[in-house]
Structure 1
Amino acid sequence: MAPRTAEPLDAEIAELPQALRWREWMARVEAVLFAASEPVGRDVLARVVGRDCALDLLIEDIAAELVGRPYEIARIAGGWQFRTRPQHAAAIRTARGEGDAVRDLTKNEALVLTIIAYMQPVTRGAISRLTGREVSRDLIARLHRQALIARGPHSPEPGAPYTYVTTPGFLVQFGLETLRDLPDLEALQDAGLLKPAGDIVLDLPIAGEVK
């Protein structure tokens, strides 16, 4: 017996009344986001709702129905993703046996990651000059293993060392849609959370390090 071929999905479902079509689109998008382990982009969602669907309005309607639920739809890394609301983080960590740990980042790792996020592409030597201390290859490797940073282009400085940049995983980890959503550098300095280059402190808001 020949295997059955799945019927192609009718993304437009034009035969349905407008209200029912909207509800079906909402259900499809919610199902796709629920099943995804990574942020889902607009092009992917357009496959199930058609190109003429007002996708942003559709997702706003889904988000409105999730008010009061322990999870929400977030715009992250250029797409959308379900995530639990911050007030339930402690319950989730406890259920996983993770205690009070939030992220396995030391203070120095958090500082280096912050510098890379704001100044990328940036070399390890430049980071060392900004912090006034040597940044080890091991520290860079730890951030790389966590998929928070990646190698960027070679620097034009002598020796052509590699530069480092943040990854899409960095955006997901910190709930950012794009790097433009990073806190304004001058605002951080005005608030006393970040000093100008050459006099940088370790206590940065992006850290989330284990105390």
Structure 2
Amino acid sequence: MARRPRASEPFDTELAHLPAELRWREWMGRVEAVIFAAPEPVPREVLARVVGRDCSLDLLIDDIRAELRGRPYELVAVAGGWQHRTRKNFAEAIQVATGLGTDDPKPLSQSEALVLLCVAYFQPITRGELSQFFGREISRDTIGHLRRLGFLAAGPRSPQPGAPYTYVTTREFLSHFGFDTLRDLPDMEALEDAGLLSKDMLLAGDIPLGLMAGDTDDGEPEEVEADEES
């Protein structure tokens, strides 16, 4: 066990006084404790503050995950960081015992889900471009609701006349739907080749449920500004 430092001593990340195996175990404990205590996914740069310079965080995470096999919770890469989440097969037990998860705290209509999916694939994109894509006006109310849920944020101004705002997805979007980065979205061309997704399917509202289905958390949506589009 690592000795407790005096208040005047700097935090010891290297733990050079420990044998290699004990040092590794202490780093594992620190990283897991930080992730466990955090209310949102913890990025690599934060975890790097509690381990040595030569520590491989990827290998450390792999060892933590290995120890959690068979446990009702796991360590997942989501929204550019790591987070503890209960395994999906225990969702019903949690609902029966606590009532948690019985209602989606961030419900989406089919129309909102389609707009969000379109932004995810084609961002940055303006409200006007979304309207052209769907052949009907996408209302400010729809965009505003997605922003209040924390799924969309204002992106850079478009070079189009009037310089309208574009919209992009957020870390909250990634976290809510269980993606680590946007690269984890299903490949659009592969989906089209497989006949699982196309523009016609989007316009018809016929999308595979799995594309927009993911784990949810109970975190509060981050505060957003009012819709700024001109």
TM-score by length of 1: 0.89
User: Residue 123 of structure 2 is aligned with which of 120, 135, 146?
Assistant: 120
Rate the CA distance shift 1:199–1:91 in 2: closer, same or farther, 3 A: closer
User: Residue 47 of structure 2 is aligned with which of 45, 48, 53?
Assistant: 45
Rate the CA distance shift 1:85–1:6 in 2: closer, same or farther, 3 A: farther
Answer whether contact 1:107 1:203 (CA < 8 A) is retained.
Answer: no
1:166 aligns with 2:166: no
Answer whether contact 2:35 2:42 (CA < 8 A) is retained.
Answer: yes
User: Residue 189 of structure 1 is aligned with which of 160, 178, 192?
Assistant: 192
Report Cα offsets for 1:20-47 as digits up to 9, x if no partner: 1111111111100000111111121111
CA separation in 1, counterparts of 2:202 and 2:76?
A: 35
CA separation in 2, counterparts of 1:198 and 1:70?
A: 37
User: Residue 74 of structure 1 is aligned with which of 68, 76, 81?
Assistant: 76
Letter of the structure 1 residue corresponding to residue 175 of structure 2: V
1:145 aligns with 2:166: no
**Unaligned residue ranges in structure 2 (runs of 5+):** 1-5, 215-230
Q: Higher mean Cα deviation, 67-76 or 192-201?
A: 192-201
Rate the CA distance shift 1:12–1:119 in 2: closer, same or farther, 3 A: same
Match of 1:207 in 2: 212
**Unaligned residue ranges in structure 1 (runs of 5+):** none
Match of 2:13 in 1: 11
CA separation in 1, counterparts of 2:100 and 2:42?
A: 29
Q: Which has the higher contact order (CA 8 A, sep 6+)?
A: 1
Between the two proteins, what is the percent identity of the paired residues? 59
Report Cα offsets for 1:163-197 as digits up to 9, x if no partner: 10001111111111111111000122233332137
TM-score by length of 2: 0.82
CA separation in 1, counterparts of 2:201 and 2:72?
A: 43
Match of 1:107 in 2: 110
Structural RMSD (CA): 2.2
Letter of the structure 2 residue corresponding to residue 85 of structure 1: R
Letter of the structure 1 residue corresponding to residue 114 of structure 2: L
CA separation in 2, counterparts of 1:97 and 1:59?
A: 28
